[in-house]
Structure 1
Amino acid sequence: MRSFAVSALREPPYPARRHAAVDLVAAESGEWVRELGLLDTRAGLRRLGGANPAELAGRACPDAPVERLRLLTDLISWLFVMDDACDEDGLGASPTRLAPTVALLLDVLDRHGDPDAPAPVDAGPLGVALDDLCRRVRARQRPTLLLRLVSQLREYLLALLWEAANREHGRVPGVAEYVQMRRHTGGVRPSFTLTDLTHDGLPGPGRRADPTLAALDALAADLVCWCNDIFSYGKERDRSSDVHNLVATIVGEDGRDEGAALRAAAARFNDGLAAYAEREAVFAGTGDEWVRAFLTTRRNWIRATYDWSLAASRYA
C-alpha cells in the first residue's frame, strides 16, 4: 500500500524538517511509557516502537523546546497505546466493553490536571498517564490551551464508543459521517493543541473562533487523517474486518471495487491539499504574525504525516 500512496498522493509542497532531539526524546518517552506501565508486553512495545511517536512529533514540531516536544511525543504515545488497545487487543470490540474504561478516563479529564489531587490509580496506567499529561500542560500556565485539550480528548474518547458500536453491529458508516468522526477518532486535534503549546504567539480564542480559520484547521486535520488512512489501509484490511478507514467507507457507500475506492480516496486528499493551499494563501497575506505561525504549524503536520508514513514500520 505504501507504493500506491507514493504514486497516487501529491507530496505536500512544504519543507521537510526534523527536530535535532528526536532520538533523545524517543528514549525519554519510551522510558515514560514503561515506568507508568502503559505497555508491559513485548508485542505492545514492538507496536509502539514501529509507530515511532518521537519521529512524528519531531517532524511536526522541528523548532520546539525539547521539553515541549517531549510532551507532544508522550501524548502521541498515549494515543497510539489507546488506539491499539481498542483495535488490536479487543477493548473497542463493543461499547459495553469499552465504556467502563472511557468513564474512568473522563473522570481523569474532569480533574483538569489538578496538582493536589491523588494519582488516579483506579483508572489504571492509561488514567495515570493521562493525568500526568494534563498536569504537565497545566503547569505551562496556558489555561485556554488546557481547556481545549481536555475538551478534544473528551471528544476523542466518546468517538471511540462510536467506533465500538459500529464494530459490534458490523455497521459501515457513510463517507460524510466517517469524515466528521475521523476528526475525533484520529486524535489529531489534541495533537494540534500541544503543537500550539510549543509556540508562545498564536491566535487567541477570539481569532480562533473565526469560521474561516476554524474551517482551515478542520481541513488540516482531515488531510492528516486521510493521508494516514491511505498509507494504513493495506495493513488494516489484512488484519481485520474493521471498516474505520476512508477507503473502506467509500467501498461501502458507493459499491466501488477496492482499486477505484483507493483512487477516490487519493483524489480526495489531493483535492483537499490544493484547497488548503488556496485557503491559507488568503490568511498568509494578512500580515498577522500569529496567524502565520498557526499556518506554519499546520503545514508542518501535513508534511510530517506524509514523511513519517513513508518510513513508519507500523504500516509496513
Structure 2
Amino acid sequence: MQNNITIPNLYSPFQHQFNPHVEVLEATVFDWVLRFNLIADDSAFKRFSKAKFYLLIASCYPNCPLAELQIANDWLSWMMTWDDECDISHLSTQPEVMERLHQRFIEVLNGAELTSEDSLRSHALADLRQRMFQREWAANFHYFVHSVEDYLHGCMQEAINRSQKNVPDIDTYIQLRRSTGAMEPLFELIEFTNHLTIPKILKEYEKLKRLKDMTNNIVCWCNDIFSAPKEMASNDVHNLVLVLHYQQGLSLNEAFQRAAKMHDEEIRNMLDIEAAIPTFSTSADAELAKYISGLHSWIGGHLNWYSLSKRYKTAETAEVFALPELQYSTSH
C-alpha cells in the first residue's frame, strides 16, 4: 500500500457560515438518537460523537429557525447511523434482508400505523414525519419520501455489489453514488428549512435539475476523496477514488488527483449553468436564488466540515496514510 499519498486540495468558491442556533443544537445533539436507540453500542457512540454531524447541518442550513434545524439534524443522524449499519453490520452483504426493512421504512414515512413489531428506528421516522407535518410541509412531503426511497434503493444495490464482490464501472458508480450519498433528501430539506415554495414548473426545470445533480456529484466526490482511507481500511470499493484506481488502472496518487480534477471541473461547470439561468418572475426568481444559495451552502459547509470532524481520522486510516488538515483552494 502506498503511504506517501496526500489528499489534494479542492476548489470551492463558496464560503460557509454557521447557523446562529449551533450551540443549542450541540447541547441537544444526543437526545433524539438516544431516545430512539439509533446508537447501538459504545463503538457506534464514539463514531457518532467524533463525527460532529451537527456542525455539518449548522453549516449547510445557516439561515433557518431552530425547529427546522433540529429536524434536519435528526434526519441526518438517522441516515448516517443507518448508513453505518448498512456498511459494517451483517446487512452489508444481505440485500434481501435490507429490502424488507427498507419497505417498512417507506410505509412508515407514508403514514402507516406503527405496530408492536416496529423497531425504534421506524418510530424515529414516524416522529420526523409528524414534526415535518407540524411545520406545514405536508404538501411537499411526498418529494422527501421519494428521495429517501431512492437513497434506500442505492444502499441495497451497494449490498448486492458487496455480496457479489462487484467493482462498478465509473459511469455506473457515479449514478449509484448520487443515490447512496443521500443528498436528495437533504436538498428537499433546503426548501423545508427555509420555508421556500419552489413551483412545480421550476422543480422540473432542466437547468435546476442539472444543478442539483452537479451539487450531488460535488458533495459525494468530495466525501469520497476524504473517506477513501476509511473505505480502503474496510475493503469497500464504493468510492470514486477506488473505482478509478481499480477500473482505470491508476495509481492511488493518480486516482486521487483525477477525482479532485473531476470535483473542481464540476464546480466550474455548475457556475456556468447558473449564469445561463433566465429570469422567470420576481417571486420565482427570489425563491430560486435562495434555493441555489442552499446548494452553495452544502458545497461550502460540507467541505469545511472535514476540518472539524474526526469521522475519517481513525487509527485504521492512519495506517493507510495521514489525512492533512483541510486547506481551502478558491482558485487554480
Same fold (TM over 0.5): yes
- Specify the code of the residue in structure 1 equivalent to 2:301: A
1:69-114: CA deviation from partner (whole Å, max 9, x where unpaired): 0000000000111011011223222213323322321321332xx7
* 1:230 positional shift: 0.4
Residue 258 of structure 1 corresponds to 252
* 1:121 positional shift: 4.6
Residue 153 of structure 2 corresponds to 158
Residue 146 of structure 1 corresponds to 141
- Specify the code of the residue in structure 1 equivalent to 2:231: E
TM-score by length of 1: 0.92
2:287 is aligned, of 270, 285, 290, to 290
Supply the distance in 1 between the matched residues of 2:65 and 2:110 (Cα, whole angstroms). 28
Contact 1:38-1:81 at 8 Å conserved across structures: yes
Residue 211 of structure 1 corresponds to 206
Q: Which has the higher contact order (CA 8 A, sep 6+)?
A: 2
**Count of matched residue positions in the alignment of Structure 1 and Structure 2:** 307
- Specify the code of the residue in structure 2 equivalent to 1:176: D
1:300 is aligned, of 297, 300, 319, to 297
* 1:196 positional shift: 1.6
Residue 276 of structure 1 corresponds to 270
1:181 is aligned, of 168, 176, 179, to 176
- % same residue: 26
Q: Which has the higher mean CA deviation after the structures are superposed, 42-51 or 95-104?
A: 95-104
Residue 80 of structure 1 corresponds to 80
Residue 51 of structure 2 corresponds to 51
- Specify the code of the residue in structure 1 equivalent to 2:244: I
Q: Does 1:236 align with 2:231?
A: yes
Structure 1 segment 124-135 matched on structure 2, within 5 A: 124-135=119-130
* 1:296 positional shift: 0.4
Residue 4 of structure 1 corresponds to 6
Supply the distance in 1 between the matched residues of 2:74 and 2:207 (Cα, whole angstroms). 31
Structure 1 segment 98-117 matched on structure 2, within 5 A: 98-111=98-111, 117=113
2:216 is aligned, of 211, 221, 231, to 221
Supply the distance in 2 between the matched residues of 1:161 and 1:219 (Cα, whole angstroms). 23
Kindly report the root-mean-square deviation, in angstroms, between the aligned alpha carbons of the 2 structures.
1.9
Contact 2:99-2:156 at 8 Å conserved across structures: yes
Contact 2:207-2:277 at 8 Å conserved across structures: no
Supply the distance in 2 between the matched residues of 1:19 and 1:243 (Cα, whole angstroms). 35
Supply the distance in 2 between the matched residues of 1:252 and 1:46 (Cα, whole angstroms). 32
Structure with greater helix share of residues: 1
Any unmatched runs of 5+ in structure 2?
Answer: 314-332
Supply the distance in 2 between the matched residues of 1:145 and 1:302 (Cα, whole angstroms). 24
1:191-222: CA deviation from partner (whole Å, max 9, x where unpaired): 11112211223422211101111111111111
* 1:131 positional shift: 1.5
Supply the distance in 1 between the matched residues of 2:52 and 2:253 (Cα, whole angstroms). 29
- Specify the code of the residue in structure 1 equivalent to 2:238: H
Q: Which has the higher mean CA deviation after the structures are superposed, 55-64 or 277-286?
A: 277-286
- Specify the code of the residue in structure 2 equivalent to 1:167: R
Contact 2:169-2:243 at 8 Å conserved across structures: yes
- Specify the code of the residue in structure 2 equivalent to 1:106: I
Aligned partner of residue 29 in structure 2, secondary structure: helix
Supply the distance in 1 between the matched residues of 2:155 and 2:259 (Cα, whole angstroms). 22
- Specify the code of the residue in structure 2 equivalent to 1:304: G
